[in-house]
Amino acid sequence: MDLINFRVGQKTISLKILDILLTERFEDNLTSLPNDNKSFIGVKGYMETPTPIFDLGIILNKQSTQETNQSLVELFSEWQQKQQQWFTALENSIKHNQPFNHNTDVQQSNFAKWYSHFKTENEDLKAIIERFKTPHNRLYARANKLIELVKQNNEKQALVELSIERNSNYMQLIRLFESAKEQILLDHKPIIIFTTKDGRTPHIGLLVDKVEDNISYKKEDIKPLDKLTDVGFDIDPQTKNMMRGLIKLENKHSVLIDPSAIFRPQHLMHQQAEETEEYGLF
């Protein structure tokens, strides 16, 4: 069986090649229609057929990737603001010879703890995150030296070295914050997968983050749905309805989905999903 893997947030999903008509770049030019289904984001004309488009991020993750990314950008902005407040407090402390009541132990820094455990599939973002450590550690170490200079009544030297820190480690941190936010927004270039049930006409479109790779699998390589709980996969009934199996990749799993089960005519809505055998697996 020939499959294509797609990325949806932190998840990987697989579709049979025979279920796919075409993929195209999402241009946010869909026609909206009244609908109570949160994952339904509009209609796109394809081969003279109005085709409903569904956001797989909402189906699988309860939130679109765009919303997830925006939340992450806001989180980076919050960390950036806290770092700016920390440096401003340090600057005021040195200029006015006042106690510095903020943390200067990088091991106790909440931000350091956060980025040390941050996980992402975005390799460029991961590289940016790794670059935070050096200037962040240096800035905290230098802060202790500056505070000590003030205690020794050497405010002038402390101000000189503070200026150096502002233009070096501190500014490097600020640039990294901006780079991280830019990477998150610019890296997201979603695509629409136009699926088919008969190999000729479109059935539905699925919004995903990107194409990953092509793979070939034998039916014995695909775990049926009753094996999903064995790997701790948390799925709700609606999502389970379209899932046809779990595929073990190199260091993760991919979910094989049947796009025909995502959208059905109204008179079939309350029927059970097609049996796995009917999807051509077992």
**Could you tell me the CATH number of the domain that includes residue 110?**
1.20.120
Q: What is the pLDDT of residue 105?
A: 92
**End-of-domain residue from the set 187, 212, 231:** 187
CATH of the domain at 262: 2.40.50.180
93 and 178 in a single domain? The answer is yes
SS3 at position 254: strand
pLDDT digit string, tens, across residues 184-229:
988 888 999 999 988 888 999 999 998 888 877 777 777 776 655 5
pLDDT confidence tier of residue 235, bands split at 50, 70 and 90? low
pLDDT of residue 42: 92
Q: Tell me which residue range forms the domain holding 236.
A: 2-63+190-279
CA angle 14, 20, 26 (to 5 degrees): 90
Q: What is the 3-state secondary structure (H, E, C) of 107-132?
A: HHCHHHHHHHCCCCCCHHHHHHHHCC
**Tally of structural domains, the chain:** 2
Average pLDDT over residues 77-82: 97
Total-model pTM: 0.77
Quick check: 269 pLDDT over 50?
no
